[in-house]
Amino acid sequence: MRVLVIGSGGREHALVWKLAQSERLERLHVAPGSAGMAALAACHPEVKANDLAAIVALARAEAIDLVVVGPEDPLTAGLADRLRAAGIATFGPSAAAAQLEGSKAFAKAFMARHAIPTAGHATFEEAAAAHAHVDALARPCVVKADGLAAGKGVAMCPSAAEAHVAIDEMMSARRFGDAGDRVVIEEWLEGEEVSYYAITDGTRIVTLAAAQDHKRALDGDLGENTGGMGAYSPAPVVTESVEKKILERVVHPVIRGMASEGHPFQGVLFVGLMIDAVGDPRVIEFNVRFGDPETQPLMLRMKSDLLPLLDAAARGELAEATAVEWGEAAVCVVLASGGYPRAYATGKRISGLDDLGPDALSGDLVVFHAGTRQTADGAAFETAGGRVLGITARGDSVAEACERAYRAAEKVGFEGRHFRHDIAARALRR
Ligand code: AMP
Ligand code: GLY
């Protein structure tokens, strides 16, 4: 098969790395891709992930059999609709179905219609009304920009004072642009957070696995929310009985509900959940694509061929009995630029990538590039984004994978390099 992956980050590097191993692959393309993936796939840096017309044209020109869409923006903009209209099989939901992620207000109303458990909430288009609501609540809450804000448009507010600041930043200072014209104010859920993944063709489901992300910038879940500072899989909080509840109360109702409302969801459903003390799940958010950085450990852990699974989902031919095979554990530690998720410098030369020892040679350690580019002399990589690299390792246990990942993380350097030291600590403490 000729396959085209859309995107350029760490998640896409992991998908490309995994798809490149498929027995069914004939040729792999990625648009725009990045220098870090150039050894695995033909990159098309001139075709940006949001340029829908250029992507359709590229897919036609290369006679692509399957397009796999990484990021959410092109999905909410209708990329999958355009590709399918052109007769090109596509893994990823329609714009209508992508609203599950693209609009928090849509997701909340959908969950209410289908009795899917989630945090209590209220939606505001006027700052004054939002401020008044916060004063009336008088308890911790979470203030969210309604639109897409790359995982950063969420403020955890232990007190009303913090909530007022967040509302001002979103609605008045417009820190997230149009995404903050509408804000959602939610009840603060207590518990342990987990990401759960299922692949669906619109009616049938094949479950993947659970992973745990680390959203806050600093150790101990302190600091601001980021796009994700590291992840690991499996997540021990998802026991068999918790998984059963996730499927019965969330995943199946979502797939049934989307189909019954006339916009079947096809692609990967990624549910962000809070699991409370008695193991009951509540939805924090839906995403309509693979998680970043969760995909990095998921791909390293996955033993089955990914391509037939994505292809079957895209064609509406998923076999529900498909059991995905997994290795024991994998961990990803993100190396970020100093200052991220706020302002940061780029263009810092990265050292140590070629010297990662036997783990890299055996394939137990893979460095996925998120925000890098080649230096002007072409001899090395330099930083080009907030999240720079995902140092990802597998092992016979989370502890072993963790050790491998951190050993490598220490060896890779650039000015301002920052990473969390407690990725997977929750699993190790159990
Ligand atoms: P979101 O973009 O909605 O997933 O929010 C980003 C992060 O903020 C989540 O991954 C959680 O860590 C946290 N968060 C969001 N909503 C809530 C909530 N209602 N209660 C507790 N934590 C939340
Ligand atoms: N890791 C969270 C996300 O991809 O949204």
If we measure between CA atoms, which residue out of 162, 158, 155, 160 comes closest to residue 184? Answer: 155
Q: Which pTM was predicted?
A: 0.93
Give the pLDDT band of residue 278 (cuts 50, 70, 90). Answer: very high
Nearest CA to ligand 2 atom 4: 291
Alpha carbons 399 and 387: distance in angstroms, whole number: 24
- Indicate the average pLDDT of the chain: 95
Angle (CA) 192-198-201 rounded to 5° is 155
Give the pLDDT band of residue 118 (cuts 50, 70, 90). Answer: very high
**What domains are defined for the chain?**
2-91 (3.40.50.20), 120-187 (3.30.1490.20), 191-314 (3.30.470.20), 329-429 (3.90.600.10)
If we measure between CA atoms, which residue out of 44, 98, 353 comes closest to residue 90? Answer: 98
Pair 76, 148: CB distance under 8 Å:
yes
Angstrom CA distances, 78 to 15, 58, 74, 128, 408, stand at 21, 16, 6, 34, 39
Alpha carbons 109 and 145: distance in angstroms, whole number: 16
Mean pLDDT check: name the lowest of 136-145, 197-206, 247-256, 404-413. Answer: 136-145
Average pLDDT over residues 171-179: 76
Strand order in the sheet with 329-336: 281-287, 267-275, 192-200, 205-213, 230-233, 329-336, 387-395, 365-369
Name all residues whose Cβ lies below 6 A of ligand 1: 119, 142, 144, 151, 154, 186-189, 193, 215, 225, 272, 284-285
Tell me, rounded to whole angstroms, the distance of Cα 12 from its chain centroid: 10
Neighbours of 278 (CB within 10 A): 7
* Residue 175: exposure state from Cβ atoms within 10 A (0-12, 13-18, ≥19): middle
Ligand nearest to the CA of 297: 2
Ligand nearest to the CA of 221: 1
**Length of the chain as a residue count:** 430
